[in-house]
Chain A
Amino acid sequence: MLRNTKKEWLIAYILIAPFVAIYALIFVYPTIDMFFLSFQDAPLVGAGDFVGIENYERLPRDRRFGTAFWNTAYFVALTVIPGTFVALAISMAVTRLSGRTQALVLALFFLPYILPVSVVFRIWDWALNFQFGIAMHVLDAFGMDRIPVFKTTTWFMPAVAFVTIWWTCGFSVLLFLAGLRAIPQEIYEAAALDNTSRWRMFRHVTWPLLWPITGLVLTIQLILQLKIFDQVYLFSQGGRPNDNLVMVYYIFQRAFVNNQGGRAAAIAVVLFIMVIVISVINFQLTRLSERRK
């Protein structure tokens, strides 16, 4: 078959034109612009002078940056591995159900993921309300002291992490379920003939075969939680935002509250590099583990 290459090029360029135009405008250009801005002492909107690496030099001495960095790390620690385990447990429980029961149970676990963050915020702000929240009635019933969860620095991050796991777990559950479905049934049947115990079956069959999915879930969660903002911002309203800062929150504060676009861009570049480094390490690890097979 002869191909009319000139015509093919033309059609291809017409097809990709809208995508490329949008991409250049709101992805390529802002990414480059971010790097330029991070070397200027510019306000949010408007021109600034070139100041070299001053915006970066400030960061190690910046207390708010320290808070944001360590809070983000803390939040990652509180959500990524615990969230993955919760999702794995749920998917193991869901996968052995069938038919309507399975569909119903999965829907109940998955429903929170579908909701906007504002709704999740309202639901939990209400459930954990210091005066009238249902969780406080539960604490009362056990004779424990009530806790103003989102107003105390100690409880804030764990509570937001808990809400986040509740909210986003359904996504990881779906991935685990897809992984579990991909494991051939014959392996289990063979193992059952040998009278293998349930735990051994999980330890020696399910877990190793599920490992690629677990790695994927961990990576997606890690990158997602590094970029946390919405929940932290919403639950901090009327509380102590400066104690609860995370990276994106600090970018927001510097740019939109302090009107320092240049300094905010420097923080953005740091977060950008963190995410890229983790993505690349993960990519290399996946390649290594695939080569070993």
Chain B
Amino acid sequence: MTPTTIRRINWMGGAFTILTVLIAVLWAFPIYWGIISSLKPENEVVRPYIELWPDTLTFEHYWFALTQTQIGKWYINSIATSVGVTVLTVSTSLFAGYAISQLRFPGRRVLWWLILASFMVPTQVLIINHFVLMANMSLLNSWAGIILPQLIHPVIVIVFKQFFDQVPKDFREAAAMDNASEWAVLFKIYIPMNWGVITALSIVTFIWAWNAFLWPFLAVTKTEMMTITVGITQVFDAFGVYYARQLSAAVLAGFPVALVYLVFQRRVTQAITLSAGIKG
């Protein structure tokens, strides 16, 4: 290649990079627009032209949402149920994944086959029977009722099994030489060695649970028991037709997961790639 062609390629590459960045900014613009609108006074929000920055920056809508609505309760419900789903899903899947990967017991193959098969079943079709079950157990409008039907995540067991399969057998044999118990092998070797994937899966399970809509929406009818994703769209009289107020509530609902993502970016992307069955 001659120097001119190389220079042309570099120039084109640069232009292409700038174009990519511009499209990316445009892609995320609706999020920016939602946030910035929530910081404008209501009379500025409805102006018939585009203003990328508010004339008067105000937090009055956030103040309204936090003091005049039940958003505080919804936050607590969201945090409690998301943490509940995360702890229960990750711990039960971790133990099951370990047993399937490392131990031999009757029923092991059936269980593994069942987990793989359940991977295909859409949980959305079970809403009726989940509702009936939770109603019979008197768990509607309770944290337990929101949590329980969200605990089906076969993919997490599958990922744990894959990671435990990869731990070299030498560790296990060395531990057996030292007469270490099975529990010690699990808690002192396998869990610490896979701490990275445990954290990654916990973060992404938390995000899934926080973002869940359909089941929390069905399981709760009392406004004070709603999670934030349900509350901000289903309690119509809480915000009225005030666009900035509605948007401020949306920002409050999205903030925790956006923050988790920005802090743990690499872990989140790793876990999401893993959950699709690809080694990251």
Contact = CB atoms under 8 A, between A and B. Distances in A.
Interface of A: 1, 3, 5, 7-9, 11-13, 15-16, 18-20, 22-23, 25-31, 33-34, 37, 44-45, 93-94, 96-97, 101, 103-112, 114-119, 121-124, 126-127, 129, 131-132, 134, 137, 166, 171, 174-175, 178-179, 195, 213, 216, 220, 223, 226-227, 229-230, 234, 237, 248, 251-252, 255-256, 261, 264-265, 268-269, 271-272, 275-276, 279-280
B233 A122 contact: yes
B99 A175 contact: no
Nearest to B20: A93
Nearest to A22: B151
B135 interface: yes
Interface string B252-264: 0110011011100
Contacts of B229: 116-119
B233 A174 contact: no
Given A114-B261, A132-B46, A34 B176 contact: no
26 contacts: A8-B104, A19-B92, A22-B151, A27-B126, A44-B132, A45-B132, A45-B136, A105-B20, A109-B27, A115-B257, A116-B211, A116-B213, A116-B257, A123-B31, A166-B27, A213-B278, A216-B277, A216-B278, A230-B213, A234-B233, A251-B128, A255-B131, A261-B128, A261-B132, A264-B128, A272-B122
B250 interface: yes
B45 interface: yes
A179 B254 CA distance: 30
Interface string B117-153: 0101110111111111101100000000000110110
Interface in B192-225: 207, 210-211, 213-214, 218
A117 B211 contact: yes
B24 A115 contact: no
Contact of A101 (B17, B92, B228, B254): B17
Contact of A115 (B27, B108, B176, B258): B258
Interface size class of B (residues with CB under 8 A): 35 or more
Contact of B17 (A20, A97, A251): A97
A255 B126 CA distance: 11
Contacts of A256: 131, 218
Contacts of A264: 128
Contacts, number: 267
A248 B251 CA distance: 28
B96 A111 contact: no
B24 A108 contact: yes
A255 B25 contact: no
B18 to A, nearest CB: 10
Nearest to B23: A93
A26 B243 contact: no
B62 interface: no
A129 B243 contact: yes
Contacts of B246: 122, 126
B280 A116 contact: no
A19 to B, nearest CB: 4
Contacts of B104: 3, 5, 8, 12
A270 B254 CA distance: 34
A229 B33 contact: no
